[in-house]
Structure 1
Amino acid sequence: MAETLRYPPNVLLGDYARAMAGLALTALPLALLQVTPWIAGPLALCALLFAVFALRTAQRQMTRVTMDEEALRAEGPLGATIRWDALSDLRLRYYATKRGRDDGWMQATLIGRGSTIRIDSNLDGFDAVIERAVTAVRTNGLRLSRVTIDNLLALGITPPEPLPEDTPS
């Protein structure tokens, strides 16, 4: 039976609010005021970054992630399917918003047969996806980076056999 996972609306609304605030602070001065080129350039670049963030948020809103015993599927814009028996890499990264790693999010990248799916820890059911991916890593005999292993431990998920210390992360 397939499990359907989505990003919670409150997370998406917060991201939309940040994107719109950023666009208001950067694009509105460009549209309403006459600014010098040395100010307009950085404002335009920041406006572009906020616009990309808004598009990425819309893409996350339209994406439905389904997981079953056979595969992980991201259905929507830039969708992909990765069969568990074809999983060839799992990367788990932590991004801190504060210096002491007190707050932040994780991003998982799953790769298999030319397809890539990226999900972040705001996805409802993120831990279940990672647990299933680790099962596939064990079954497929894959080796994980030290960073991924450390992040699995931080999630409370037992990783496959640890890597030797000389393996690059």
Structure 2
Amino acid sequence: MAELPMARPSTVETPPMPAEMRYPAGALAGDYARAGAGLALTVLPLALLPVTPWIAVPLGACAVLFAVFAARTAQRQMTRLTMDGDGLRADGPLGAAIRWDKLSDLRLRYYATRRGRDDGWMQAALAGGGKTIRFDSNLEGFDAVIERASDAAGRNGVALSPVTVDNLIALGIEPPDDPNEEASAS
């Protein structure tokens, strides 16, 4: 059997392959359970018991909130994010696309479930070209998207809030230099 010649490393930078990311089903199961329990606790009394308007109105308002939460969870499940060398695209309900060279804002927030910040999640919002894409840290590949967005923000001269900078550092991502500090140093 003939040996294949060794491939030489390319000197031309090839664009990275598109990466598709979704929310894992396990990460959304808890949200579906909470929405279902909330709907059961609010809709069932309205449907099965005679209630006064003083009780029906708050229960109905809570039912609407739980229904919106369930719809938002379903929207997250149906959305697929695709990241490539050109930008980030969200395919699904309320989809959008942002090119890296048009990125004009990056916000990264941490929401703690306990006072000690031991457990919680991050939520990111990327904006550019009049579009905004929001996603949270349950998304597979969250860190890779944030790292790419941070690099694009640095190239585009986007000033990041101190909260976003702190959260980038917490993720182990070197934040870009602040363009406002460079301008004031000159």
TM-score by length of 1: 0.94
Q: CA deviation at 1:161?
A: 2.1
Matched residue, 2:166: 150
Matched residue, 2:79: 63
CA–CA distance in 1 between the matches of 2:62 and 2:40? Answer: 11
Q: Does 1:28 align with 2:44?
A: yes
Q: CA deviation at 1:95?
A: 1.1
Secondary structure in structure 2 of the residue aligned to 1:88: strand
Q: CA deviation at 1:15?
A: 1.1
| Structure 2 gap segments, 5+ residues each | 1-16, 182-186
Which structure would you say has the larger Rg?
Answer: 2
Give a deviation string over 1:98-155, Cα, whole Å, max 9, x none.
Answer: 1221111111000001000001000000000000000101111111001111111111
Q: Does 1:102 align with 2:142?
A: no
Give a deviation string over 1:28-76, Cα, whole Å, max 9, x none.
Answer: 1111111122211211111111100100011011100000010100000
Matches within 5 A, 1:3-152: 3-152=19-168
Q: How many residues align?
A: 164
CA–CA distance in 1 between the matches of 2:58 and 2:108? Answer: 32
Secondary structure in structure 2 of the residue aligned to 1:94: strand
| Cα-Cα RMSD | 1.1
CA–CA distance in 1 between the matches of 2:118 and 2:57? Answer: 35
CA–CA distance in 1 between the matches of 2:46 and 2:118? Answer: 37
| Structure 1 gap segments, 5+ residues each | 165-169
> Which amino acid is 1:20 matched to?
G
> Which amino acid is 1:86 matched to?
K
> Which amino acid is 2:60 matched to?
A
CA–CA distance in 2 between the matches of 1:38 and 1:106? Answer: 38
